[in-house]
Structure 1
């Protein structure tokens, strides 16, 4: 793999197992010991402050538990873990974190006020996330100590975790280092290092992570308040929101699965960037993202970084996905360019064009976050009493498209933020309509209070890629402000001028982001209707090459993608194998018999032999399967 990025990262996904090994850890680098020394100094000050608060207030607080149980505790002293022991030893041994007044808490974090407390175990999604996330800290600590890694981010996923870190330009984890890294993780677990939560000021954060450009960027971009939390665990000191387990011993053991390359750009990067990722077979994902499919910037290209260019094979899938991308202001002007009547509503407009967003270089990521992208964002201008039916139709359309692509999804309803614009009664009605539509829709959804846009509430669509990473894709947004700012009006039933409601509707969202998720999901084996490699025609010998070209032209004349492999330097079996590795959905092999009978001998990319069919019949069946967009054309042929 070629690397052109200044800050490549190594990502090591993992999952848990059992076992205890021993490994020799090198002498830690100076920056690591200096960071730990500063953390210990700040930790001692925080412990002293907390002790003083507990002694000064010596105040009893009231604790409410699920089921109506009540308990008393001491402010700044009692922890959720102590409460769990008072309830039962089983709960104390199985709890991984607590929810305190709606906020996730470490079990050893002292309570400060009257609290509603709920305990989380590994059986809950939140508990799993805490467990996996604590494991990333162990992996990060091992990478720092063994490899001198500069840590980036280490999130949990639905079924495990991974960690991103930087080892130096051109440096990656060697295969021989993975077992050693895993052994160090096991030793850190066996040592039962406590997770210690420190609240640090912005200046203290900058001092703690002065040697880590990734953390400095996160502090700059994400830390909006006067303080943020840092966790210490053994020699590890990391910027993290938490919560975590009480100590590493609760993890029990972990197993490193694989490594992959990922990318994080920075504004000072001047060298060309090639988007690529590598995952080993044992991870259950796909080693693909071929250089001949997509590149964000090729050497010598004048295209700016993060402006994607489709190569021939990627263009097929991209253009197939391009439904109806958008231009919000232009559609408002189109609505306003002449008088409108209620009879024209709902008016649905869509436009196809490139969009640009001034993304910070540190947030760019392959096809999933770009500065230039396309979006299938239609705009629906409707009356208030048409809102409910339009939202239902948009949700039905969304479900139909995602089912076609083979994705499950989860919806989120975001309601008015504190700084909303417009009239409260319009917001109330809109939120009620969206809520009712989601209830009737029947798919899982979450409520996100105060997370809507300032101009209206919205429904966001989230799906996960093959690595378990979440992506926000489609969206349905209500907008009261653009119609107001553009002075949009229509003549109502009674002749009075009324203002329309605007619905922004994107099903795929960013076409490039959806394509990136699809690439991971398909694992190189695209369904026929979306595939850039539909059919390859393979003549047995030079004598059949002319007929093979005729077959290829027949495929292309009907709109199918047909390639020809007449490489006389390779045997037939080698060319068949090459077609399978390239994931062509079908191979049409033609020999002397097929030429004389005007037939083709058909194989699939999984080496299923479908036998001999007439050329006309074979092409007709492919067209039928493509037009019906079946996900398994090879099985249904």
Structure 2
């Protein structure tokens, strides 16, 4: 044996979730590391996470990697199982549709999908495909991972043009090429997967949609089949129940029923039109924020919808956001619809001379912005081309950052608690595509971290999710059926002031650079409005409801009294149902229209000069004094209560 053979191989080190380090052989895999920690953990290993990326348990680790072992029962293991379910779907499709071409089939938060070309299918085919998937699962095929050369992979994928395109990208990047096979079927895939198809629980196919290859509108439109998978039938049933409830709450469905908004082909995709009831709600949301801004010392400004691209070059948006902008030429000049309001606000600040005594300067604008989302990604109000941000930009001295950020967070909490929303916070750090020096970013991230920790707030760390110009604190919240939404944000920016050469004169009579803070209390009106529609199922709080009270005369003889009663409530959004219809039908119509309160008037009410009140919960009270009810409504509106509560008193 040579001296070199007798030398122990150099070890590498991986970092475990508790911060401890584990030394392993340089060719060790995720599974090897798990066995090093303990044999039980090794046997239970499903996959691993290397620096946050989910990988196969056969994946080699590398020196300095942050390693997390994925075992059964975790959210990550469910994603692994769903990825394997996607392969079962593709295998079933190819058994039934020989001409289908494979594209991609990843897991998602709710299940999985697989994209195909040359596939004509509708949901009537789901039963046959689900039966085939069950047979594949019952066959308990071993799912085998195989590393292959580029040349061999090309031969295997000769009839799969989309897989070949992916393969060439792997080859160009020098990445490892792996196939996963089960029975007669195989796929180019990085994994990870469960060990056999028998480990997949219950699978259900959900819907069919169109999807552009690689998300590019210039590419082929493919057929996407969505499905989901769970460990057991009860979990699947709960999911399907939640999904059914989500469909009933769909803001597009409710928006149509309540005449809130429309998105029409003739006006263009992703460009919502707000009808009077929808705009009524938006105006109430605007007034709410305007009151908060006024209390907090903001001045309103207004900027145009379009600027010369010189502005976007200076702000950094042109180089970092150009693909998402609408850009066009006018004569010899290039213009762009604004994707953000901040450069315009920076330009306003730049147009003045400031002293340290003037700061902080707080600008607010309900600013319409435009972002060129892929058409296939547009959906109702959740993803649009034109939307409005309740924007705020502050220009502060460095020593004022903590106070201003805390003030903004108080405003955000006020908004979320008004709507009775449970929320969480996250600190989002520097993304891969960003502007500014390491020093600036470290300073900005440390400032936001200190605010969170000085208040003893729980928060998650979202590495790489910051804006390209600075880190941010994001607020997420849950709706009535437990879905998570992104919402308000506060962002620290040391870069925009540098790019616009913003300054103020300090106490030392020298020029200093202000810090810019970006904030939005809703996020965007469109996304927040969408969430409120679904959260409240269209049954808005009294202060938001487009129609707050409907007066129902029992007969035509009471119509005059009904209008006199309505006049007593002219501070509210009140309508009289004067149709020639039965009271029962009028009550049902008001209930279906989600009106918070109904005032019912007949001969008895008219004779006594009072009213009967019915709420959306179908409770009713008789002999109500008009003044008492009006005073209650004023309180319910002014206090912005969530539910109608007159009959609860």
Q: TM-score, normalised by structure 2?
A: 0.72
- The answer to whether residue 260 in structure 2 is matched with residue 297 in structure 1 is no
Looking at structure 1, the residues matched to 524 and 384 of structure 2 have their Cα atoms a distance apart, in angstroms, of 9
- The answer to whether residue 413 in structure 2 is matched with residue 461 in structure 1 is no
Q: Which residue of 2 aligns with 1:309?
A: 273
- The answer to whether residue 246 in structure 2 is matched with residue 246 in structure 1 is no
- The answer to whether residue 507 in structure 2 is matched with residue 493 in structure 1 is yes
**Residues 180 and 191, structure 2, Cα contact 8 Å, conserved in 1:** no
Looking at structure 2, the residues matched to 343 and 116 of structure 1 have their Cα atoms a distance apart, in angstroms, of 48
Looking at structure 2, the residues matched to 111 and 62 of structure 1 have their Cα atoms a distance apart, in angstroms, of 9
Which of 319, 341, 344 is equivalent to 2:358?
344
**Residues 197 and 232, structure 1, Cα contact 8 Å, conserved in 2:** yes
Which of 41, 44, 47 is equivalent to 1:91?
41
**Residues 286 and 523, structure 1, Cα contact 8 Å, conserved in 2:** no
**Residues 206-241 of structure 1, C-alpha deviation per residue, up to 9 Å, x if partnerless?**
9876579xx99x999999967698875647777877
Looking at structure 2, the residues matched to 450 and 146 of structure 1 have their Cα atoms a distance apart, in angstroms, of 43
Looking at structure 1, the residues matched to 190 and 31 of structure 2 have their Cα atoms a distance apart, in angstroms, of 19
Which runs of structure 2 are paired with 1:346-425 in the superposition (5 Å)?
A: 346-417=360-431, 421-422=435-436, 424-425=438-439
Which of 70, 75, 78 is equivalent to 1:120?
70
Which of 576, 587, 602 is equivalent to 2:587?
576
**Residues 174-221 of structure 1, C-alpha deviation per residue, up to 9 Å, x if partnerless?**
5xx6655544443333233427587998x9799876579xx99x9999
Q: Which residue of 1 aligns with 2:639?
A: 628
Looking at structure 1, the residues matched to 396 and 171 of structure 2 have their Cα atoms a distance apart, in angstroms, of 40
- The answer to whether residue 588 in structure 2 is matched with residue 588 in structure 1 is no
Looking at structure 2, the residues matched to 149 and 573 of structure 1 have their Cα atoms a distance apart, in angstroms, of 57
How far is 1:346 from its partner? 0.8
Looking at structure 2, the residues matched to 372 and 228 of structure 1 have their Cα atoms a distance apart, in angstroms, of 42
How far is 1:494 from its partner? 2.4
How far is 1:62 from its partner? 5.3
**Residues 52-100 of structure 1, C-alpha deviation per residue, up to 9 Å, x if partnerless?**
xxxxxx988657585869575572xx65446656766653554332234
Looking at structure 2, the residues matched to 366 and 219 of structure 1 have their Cα atoms a distance apart, in angstroms, of 35
**Residues 394 and 517, structure 2, Cα contact 8 Å, conserved in 1:** yes
Distance 1:63 1:454, change over 3 A: closer
**Residues 417 and 451, structure 1, Cα contact 8 Å, conserved in 2:** yes
Which runs of structure 2 are paired with 1:469-618 in the superposition (5 Å)?
A: 471-555=485-569, 557-558=570-571, 560-568=572-580, 570-618=581-629
**Residues 429 and 471, structure 2, Cα contact 8 Å, conserved in 1:** yes
Distance 1:386 1:538, change over 3 A: same
**Residues 491-514 of structure 1, C-alpha deviation per residue, up to 9 Å, x if partnerless?**
212222222111111121121112
Question: Is there any run of 5+ residues in structure 1 with no aligned partner, and where?
Answer: 1-57, 270-278
Which runs of structure 2 are paired with 1:105-144 in the superposition (5 Å)?
A: 105-110=55-60, 117-138=67-88
Distance 1:305 1:248, change over 3 A: same
- The answer to whether residue 108 in structure 2 is matched with residue 156 in structure 1 is yes
Which of 219, 244, 263 is equivalent to 1:283?
244
How far is 1:541 from its partner? 1.4
**Residues 230 and 239, structure 1, Cα contact 8 Å, conserved in 2:** yes
**Residues 274-310 of structure 1, C-alpha deviation per residue, up to 9 Å, x if partnerless?**
xxxxx988733242423254555325x3x22211111
Moved more, 502-511 or 126-135: 126-135
**Residues 170 and 177, structure 2, Cα contact 8 Å, conserved in 1:** no
Alpha carbon RMSD of aligned pairs, Å? 4.5
Residue-pair matches, total: 556
- The answer to whether residue 140 in structure 2 is matched with residue 192 in structure 1 is yes
Which of 163, 167, 173 is equivalent to 2:123?
173
Q: Which residue of 2 aligns with 1:446?
A: 460
Question: Is there any run of 5+ residues in structure 2 with no aligned partner, and where?
Answer: 1-7, 220-239, 291-301, 303-339
Looking at structure 1, the residues matched to 448 and 456 of structure 2 have their Cα atoms a distance apart, in angstroms, of 13
SS in 2 for 1:526: coil
Q: TM-score, normalised by structure 1?
A: 0.73
How far is 1:141 from its partner? 5.4
Q: Which residue of 1 aligns with 2:223?
A: none
**Residues 269 and 378, structure 2, Cα contact 8 Å, conserved in 1:** no
Looking at structure 1, the residues matched to 87 and 426 of structure 2 have their Cα atoms a distance apart, in angstroms, of 29
SS in 2 for 1:546: helix
SS in 1 for 2:202: coil
How far is 1:430 from its partner? 2.2
How far is 1:576 from its partner? 1.8
Distance 1:74 1:319, change over 3 A: same
SS in 2 for 1:388: helix
Distance 1:536 1:200, change over 3 A: farther
**Residues 472 and 489, structure 2, Cα contact 8 Å, conserved in 1:** yes
Distance 1:575 1:402, change over 3 A: same
SS in 1 for 2:123: coil
How far is 1:382 from its partner? 0.5
Looking at structure 2, the residues matched to 599 and 224 of structure 1 have their Cα atoms a distance apart, in angstroms, of 81
How far is 1:369 from its partner? 1.7
How far is 1:434 from its partner? 0.3
SS in 1 for 2:634: helix
**Residues 107 and 245, structure 1, Cα contact 8 Å, conserved in 2:** no
How far is 1:544 from its partner? 1.7
Looking at structure 1, the residues matched to 130 and 351 of structure 2 have their Cα atoms a distance apart, in angstroms, of 66
- Which structure has more relative contact order (CA 8 Å, sep 6+)? It is 1
Looking at structure 1, the residues matched to 455 and 472 of structure 2 have their Cα atoms a distance apart, in angstroms, of 15
Which of 284, 292, 298 is equivalent to 1:320?
284
Looking at structure 2, the residues matched to 522 and 449 of structure 1 have their Cα atoms a distance apart, in angstroms, of 33
Looking at structure 1, the residues matched to 119 and 629 of structure 2 have their Cα atoms a distance apart, in angstroms, of 51
